[in-house]
Structure 1
């Protein structure tokens, strides 16, 4: 066979392959349009009956208590305390905290399912709830009995709210270089320094703070719980943000702030390890919030395609847009499967848990942002108006590629683990 014949054969094969892929896109599209309840792209696919029950509770809460207020919370920068306390009454204030101290005692997979559902109602509020849950879990896991009994019940009921304090003005991705110091003086630590970009800062009651009690590097870091009202604790101005406007963000400042030594979690020098273990779960949580935004955006795009007409017919009849919607749903399902696998690995304390949590955070926050952004594009000019929810999902989800460790850092963690595997 001559070169020209070979080339023709390859080109024909390529056309057949492309046609089969396009048929798959059409199949996905018509599944979404015609019968979404049984389609594998839906969030309940493959769950146990129990998981479907609390997922439904979370979806209903999102639809009834969050979504109607999402735009107002964003525009007026409202921290919806009472709504979050209602969520806590359903068990969402301490989802994976132990029941003995008021938590729900659910698994990491269960937690992911709940956060995805809640985020369809408001990403910003759910993301704060996920941070609050992480703080409650850290105290429950690394605190002693007295600390757990002192802090966890009020956190799980959301009578009190918590903030996670790791990032500093000069140490973001390089968390081990943090400078906030804590000098032991008798039965107290004296804290000096500042934390940046703290969710809930100034409005919350409990601050889980990473600080330096020893020498340079990770081994010199400890973890202290600082309560609001402690002399020497103050806050910076409220930051003006592109998204995440239903939760305040401020600098947290310590000036000769005396914290009882009994508020230290674990031993001196364990703080960095505590922080990283918290972030492994935090990365799954924030990826789950991204899933909720993408899930809601696919539904918004679908509804828009079915009603919007151009050139004499609905956009749903445009094959290009059919293919785009199919690809969006496919990315959503792939992302969801990765998050749920990472959540299971973390729950089981598997050796690949750290890598999977990093992969989930990297892949899912990138892909789900793309899904939301494509949904906005499908809305045309309407998508850029604040009357349409899709633009808020885009704004709220964008920061997920930055926080809980930037996606560039996720690539570093993944590659390092791959290169050091025996």
Structure 2
């Protein structure tokens, strides 16, 4: 069985240009990505050549301004591109989302001079980014980060360790959050660091249960010098910059989750139509039909939620609560749908001969990255009833 059934998702696209874009992405996904996914993931190979292809096709800077090499696409369209890529291979879809996250600080808080200097290469020059916020002792409590940034003349010297970094060791540029002042959120600043900076090194990639082709590694900063003209925003503004990026990034994770869920549903529907038991297709048993119907309904609901949040963002309206809701619902949906897909395939679903076991393993990490789903519930609760009393 192929990794994905041939029936395409019916997209909600605002323009003919967007429809052409999705057709291009589907063609790339079906020709260049999906046929190699199972083998590449099993071998743990990072698809750098795929990211070069996506960059050449203008797909690494879609939500950013064409003034600096971006695609001028609304988030409503960009997220559906991510979904298509993630359905073919999560390593690729999530990788594009992380690259966009790494570009967010400079694109939204950098000076015009900084943007003109760096963004064209970041968005369309074949480069790949990483986002460096988490640390070994500060994950959900991101404001407790310890990596230091000390001013020395016209430079900043960065010292510390970042953890759980997607593209760690292979990224060409890093957006790094470091402590330039006192304790708490107000003592953090943001920096654009070259991936080959002196004093920067990567630990061996983590050994993960899924997404084996996507390197996740600690990064060590041993006196890394960064010129002050690579500081993004004002001193002490870094945590606010990080949170703004995460609001947008959570929508990327939501879209990727729906892509994974859709791929699992496609595989389950295809198998149910082919597998015969008791002289009938298993798709003809009502219990299984109901299971597939629930899976499809949950996917459509998740897709509608992330698109609704994207439209708020595109309209310039507050969307943080909806982004947290979308990330929460879509990733929980991906976990449930992939588990159900394994059940539809029975014993075959538990083997590596079919894609659903891999999709189930991959779905789990989406409930963790860019804010665990428990953190998303806290964010939603604060929007509803205010901050927690201490």
Q: What residue number does 1:323 align with?
A: 290
Q: What residue number does 1:418 align with?
A: 384
Structure 1 residue 146: Cα displacement: 2.7
Normalised by the size of structure 1, how large is the TM-score?
Answer: 0.88
Separation in 2, partners of 1:162, 1:114: 18
Tell me whether 1:356 sits opposite 2:322 in the alignment: yes
Query: Is the CA contact (8 Å cut-off) linking 2:261 and 2:334 kept in structure 1?
Result: yes
Q: What residue number does 2:30 align with?
A: 63
Structure 1 residue 148: Cα displacement: 1.5
SS at match of 2:163: strand
Q: What residue number does 1:336 align with?
A: 303
Query: Is the CA contact (8 Å cut-off) linking 1:124 and 1:246 kept in structure 2?
Result: yes
Equivalent residue in structure 2 for 1:228, among 182, 186, 195:
195
Query: Is the CA contact (8 Å cut-off) linking 2:51 and 2:126 kept in structure 1?
Result: no
Where do 5+ consecutive residues of structure 2 fail to align? Answer: none
Equivalent residue in structure 2 for 1:267, among 234, 238, 243:
234
Q: What residue number does 1:368 align with?
A: 334
Larger radius of gyration: 1
Range with greater deviation from structure 2 (206-215 or 52-61) = 52-61
Q: What residue number does 1:9 align with?
A: none
Structure 1 residue 49: Cα displacement: 3.8
Tell me whether 1:111 sits opposite 2:78 in the alignment: yes
Relative to 1, partners in 2 of residues 1:158 and 1:127: Cα closer, same or farther, differing over 3 Å? farther
Residue by residue over 1:162-187, the C-alpha shift from the partner in whole angstroms, topping out at 9 and shown as x without a partner, is 10000000000000111111011110
Q: What residue number does 1:237 align with?
A: 204
Separation in 2, partners of 1:259, 1:382: 52
Query: Is the CA contact (8 Å cut-off) linking 1:115 and 1:285 kept in structure 2?
Result: yes
Equivalent residue in structure 1 for 2:357, among 382, 391, 398:
391
Residue by residue over 1:333-361, the C-alpha shift from the partner in whole angstroms, topping out at 9 and shown as x without a partner, is 0000000011111222323x110000000
Structure 1 residue 62: Cα displacement: 1.2
Q: What residue number does 2:269 align with?
A: 302
Relative to 1, partners in 2 of residues 1:46 and 1:262: Cα closer, same or farther, differing over 3 Å? closer
Query: Is the CA contact (8 Å cut-off) linking 1:125 and 1:246 kept in structure 2?
Result: no
Separation in 2, partners of 1:88, 1:43: 25
Normalised by the size of structure 2, how large is the TM-score?
Answer: 0.95
SS at match of 2:265: helix
Q: How does 1:38-77 map to 2 (within 5 A)?
A: 42-45=9-12, 48-77=15-44
Structure 1 residue 53: Cα displacement: 2.4
Where do 5+ consecutive residues of structure 1 fail to align? Answer: 1-32
Structure 1 residue 45: Cα displacement: 4.8
SS at match of 1:234: strand
Q: What residue number does 1:401 align with?
A: 367
SS at match of 2:88: coil
Q: What residue number does 1:280 align with?
A: 247
Residue by residue over 1:362-406, the C-alpha shift from the partner in whole angstroms, topping out at 9 and shown as x without a partner, is 011001221121111101111111121112211122101001100
Aligned residues between the structures: 383
Separation in 1, partners of 2:254, 2:297: 16
Query: Is the CA contact (8 Å cut-off) linking 1:123 and 1:397 kept in structure 2?
Result: no
